Amino acid sequence: METTMTPCSSRKRKACVDDDAGSKRLKPDSESGQTTENGRLPRSPRITVSPEHIPRAVAEEELLELLHYSAVDKARGRVCRPSWCRLHKQRLVRAVTVAVVDHVSQSDFYEHFLSMPNLRNKYSTRVTLAASSTNLLSEIFRSRVSITHTPPAPSRPEKRDAPQLHKVLRNHPVLRKFGTECRGLTAYLLSAEEMSRKNFPFTGRPGCEDYVRTNSDAMVTDSSPLFGLDCEMCITDEGSELTRVSLVDSTGTCVLDQLVKPHNKIRNYLTQFSGVTRQLLKPVKTTLSEVQAKVMSLLPQDAVLVGHSLENDLRALKMIHPHVIDTSLLYRRELGHRFKLKVLTETLLRRQIQTEDRRGHDPSEDAAAALELAQYFITNGPLKVVQEHLEELWGYSLTEEVEETSRQVPTEPTRARFRDVLQDSGRTVAFFGRRSDIGLHISKQQWFSSDREVLQSFRDQPKCPSFSVLQFCPGPTDGTHAALRTQVRPLCVVFAGPLPPHSSEEDVRRLFCCCGPLRSVRIIHTAVRVHAEVQFQLPESAVLALSALNGFTLREHCLTVQRPVDESTLDVEVTVGALQADPLTSRLLYVVSLSPDIAEFLRASAHTAETSAEAGSPGPVHVNGLKTQRPLGLSEDLLLDTFSRFGPVVQIVTRATHAYVEFGSADSREAALSSFQDLLQLDFLLCPALTPLHLSAGRAADTPVRTTEDPLLGEVQQRLGSCGNWTGTWGNCSGAFQTQRYL
């Protein structure tokens, strides 16, 4: 399905802007990528979706919310905003067009990426529509719209009891969450649901079976004591482990600053981040269990822990504490992004921490800073914090707002059918497609027998209807869809060989899992040698395997890692290049953390390759006795500290075996890629991402698709993609729906 929203023409657009010329406007930070050269918001309507909503399926009711809000004229009353996305510049929307193409999913879009240049260039945010048992086309027109009417107020406005909050501040993420009143600390505690969503440890959560729960069972009040907590970690054979913990009481006094001896062998001290060295830890005998006992003895039963991204500290301590305040979630940003502790401290507290002249972070200093930030927020209240730091922290500026000449008092909402609301307001409504019962008057329907006729009739309209729906055929009905599979598989498959005789699937897995999660391994016995077909879950893993493992010698057998060559893989490299340049992935980096033995072999491989190139002879690296790869060093804080040196980091998403790092610009990603060898010294392996974040969690390779021989996809994307500046959605009405933003 594709929903397009056509903005006003240039002449009408100026009139629309003049109507609102006196209102205050937000001025977002230039790094967000959502401003024009003069710093103003783009005037074309656009849709943005929170990162928290992109991975989940959008329900049919939520889709209808967006259509109602975008198409209903505000002069008829107020329609509730959609809960899952934000439509910017709704008043500039002149027409809405919904194109429904059955049996087309996001997997199809990426499989046929090269053949859809217009769609991929004009849309950059894509989500999935949940399957529904109802007739979507019929439900669009028959759905009921809840409208709150706002009749004119009396000529003499009522006296205001209190100053009205500006509309810009009402939409601020901090004020939306906490309101404007100055309240006690209990108002800012994370709820159990929030702690679960933010990956805090709690009793009964998988992986937290051996965690220690504090004795904080007492009721927390506004006078309960606050304690700042910060931890530093290192990388061991078992992953990230605690090396130092600091606890600061409510007066700012450090009551605990303790080095901790990790249980497992240390592979990377992370000195550049933690400040912990081999010399510092050498005489330390304190264990994790002893530190846990000290922390529990220092915390009263009603203690509230304060920290910045506190879930990482509690996981390092392997402790569960139910009463927490997280400053990264207190000073909220749009779309789930978080400020760095250093930025908040410099902006609000007017002092510097984590300075470059120091070797690593000081956890007691960081704990004290987080504690003071929480106290500052609680003392001043959310409204004062936002007003005083709106521009310097959140990057917004305000202009004067035109005084309203009258007060409008909303009445009780009324519910009416969507089709009736559109027609009663004078909007033109049209349907182009097959003859069916869609609940729309027959005079508003145009029936056709082919998709080409549907497109041509729509384009031949002398004036674009205010709201129109285009229905295309559902594709073959002879059962061929059940036999079709996506062609994403060739992007994820490599062939490796020759292997030593008697090699098993487990041997191959132990080598190739360092590049990312595996889907399958198949041993191939030819007449003379043994090879393996390795299929990864993600195409990025295959790219890493081709660049990192080609040329390895496994028990005197030099491996050649290559892609299979057949008809389906002739354009693989071209597709990979196009995926890397896609707006959704152009700033995205794919990162895996290597076990020390694999990392050592790769570093030796790179050094030997350089030496051999100078000598004019190949120089394979002998790899024997490889251990099973473990996902190491993929904590959000570590990745942020590692990659923020290349430029602003927008977000970091960690998976079980890999992570994605999104930069603020494509140049920052290129800077990180150019430092490949330096990052390899930190046991990181990386390549440009190919998979958007909303598909990376679970990319199906066996979804029924439309064949490339079917000209409909190319026809639809060519016609729709050339009809102007459109913002909207594209996907599959039977279960895969995509919402995309025009850039």
**173-394: CATH number:** 3.30.420.10
Q: Is 80 exceeded by the pLDDT of residue 263?
A: yes
**CA-to-CA distance for 643 and 646, rounded, in angstroms?**
6
Q: Is 70 exceeded by the pLDDT of residue 717?
A: no
Radius of gyration of the chain (CA): 29
Element (H, E) at 468: strand 467-471
**CA-to-CA distance for 658 and 593, rounded, in angstroms?**
7
User: By the 8 A CB rule, do 560 and 550 touch?
Assistant: yes
Mean pLDDT, residues 293-315: 94
Choose between 330 and 461: higher pLDDT.
Answer: 330
Q: 514 pLDDT band (50/70/90 cuts)?
A: confident
Residues 6+ apart with CB under 8 A from 145: 68, 72, 79, 415, 416, 417, 418, 421
Helices (H), 171-245: 173-178, 192-197
What pLDDT shows up at residue 150? 56
SS3 508: helix
DSSP single-letter state for residue 362: -
What pLDDT shows up at residue 640? 85
Q: Is 80 exceeded by the pLDDT of residue 154?
A: no
Mean pLDDT, residues 235-245: 89
Q: How many residues does the chain have?
A: 743
Q: Is 80 exceeded by the pLDDT of residue 671?
A: yes
What pLDDT shows up at residue 606? 52
What pLDDT shows up at residue 445? 85
User: By the 8 A CB rule, do 315 and 238 touch?
Assistant: no
What pLDDT shows up at residue 318? 95
**CA-to-CA distance for 717 and 707, rounded, in angstroms?**
15
DSSP single-letter state for residue 617: S
Q: Determine phi and psi for 727, rounding to 5 degrees.
A: -120, 135
Least confident of 352-356, 478-482, 550-554: 478-482
Q: What is the mean pLDDT of the chain?
A: 75
Q: What b/e readout covers 186-216, taking b as 16+ CB neighbours within 10 angstroms?
A: bebbbeeeebeebebbbeeeeebeebbebeb
Choose between 390 and 103: higher pLDDT.
Answer: 390
DSSP single-letter state for residue 251: T
Mean pLDDT, residues 655-676: 86
What pLDDT shows up at residue 88? 80
Q: How many CA atoms lie within 13 A of 725 on its CB side?
A: 14
Cα 509 to Cα 285, 518, 627: the distances in Å are: 37, 8, 10
Q: Is 70 exceeded by the pLDDT of residue 372?
A: yes
Helices (H), 144-197: 167-170, 173-178, 192-197
Mean pLDDT, residues 352-367: 79
Choose between 718 and 688: higher pLDDT.
Answer: 688
Mean pLDDT, residues 367-371: 95
Residues 6+ apart with CB under 8 A from 425: 72, 73, 75, 76
User: By the 8 A CB rule, do 491 and 542 touch?
Assistant: yes
Handedness of CA 250, 252, 257, 262 (dihedral sign): positive
What pLDDT shows up at residue 229? 96
Give tens-digit pLDDT for 158-203. 444 445 677 778 788 899 899 999 999 999 999 988 998 888 998 8
Q: 244 pLDDT band (50/70/90 cuts)?
A: very high
SS3 523: strand
Q: Is 80 exceeded by the pLDDT of residue 50?
A: no
Q: Which CATH architecture has domain 489-696?
A: 2-Layer Sandwich (3.30)
Residues 6+ apart with CB under 8 A from 239: 630, 631, 632, 633
Q: 628 pLDDT band (50/70/90 cuts)?
A: very low
Q: 382 pLDDT band (50/70/90 cuts)?
A: very high
Q: 2 pLDDT band (50/70/90 cuts)?
A: low
Mean pLDDT, residues 686-698: 74
Q: 448 pLDDT band (50/70/90 cuts)?
A: confident
DSSP single-letter state for residue 736: B
**CA-to-CA distance for 481 and 475, rounded, in angstroms?**
8
Helix, strand, coil abundance in the chain, percent, nearest 5: 35, 20, 45
- Does residue 300 have a cis bond before it (omega within 30 degrees)? no
Residue 447's DSSP bridge partners are: 433
Q: Is 70 exceeded by the pLDDT of residue 36?
A: no
**Domain extents for the chain?**
2-9+25-145+415-481+711-740, 173-394, 489-696
Choose between 364 and 616: higher pLDDT.
Answer: 364
User: By the 8 A CB rule, do 431 and 99 touch?
Assistant: no
Element (H, E) at 723: none
**CA-to-CA distance for 91 and 709, rounded, in angstroms?**
41
- pLDDT winner (highest mean) among 29-33, 74-78, 301-305, 442-446: 301-305
**CA-to-CA distance for 703 and 20, rounded, in angstroms?**
47
AA letter at 403: E
Q: Is 70 exceeded by the pLDDT of residue 616?
A: no
- 31-38 — which CB contacts under 8 Å span 24+ positions? 31/648, 31/664, 31/665, 32/395, 33/664
Handedness of CA 687, 688, 693, 695 (dihedral sign): negative
Q: Is 70 exceeded by the pLDDT of residue 696?
A: no
Q: Is 50 exceeded by the pLDDT of residue 209?
A: yes
- pLDDT winner (highest mean) among 27-41, 356-370, 474-488, 499-513: 499-513
Question: C-alpha angle 278/283/289, rounded to 5°?
Answer: 100
Choose between 483 and 662: higher pLDDT.
Answer: 662
Mean pLDDT, residues 369-378: 95
What pLDDT shows up at residue 599? 67
* Burial status of residue 88 (CB atoms within 10 A of its CB: 0-12, 13-18, 19 or more): middle
Residues 6+ apart with CB under 8 A from 376: 348, 349, 385
Give tens-digit pLDDT for 423-441. 777 778 888 888 877 777 7
Element (H, E) at 298: helix 288-298
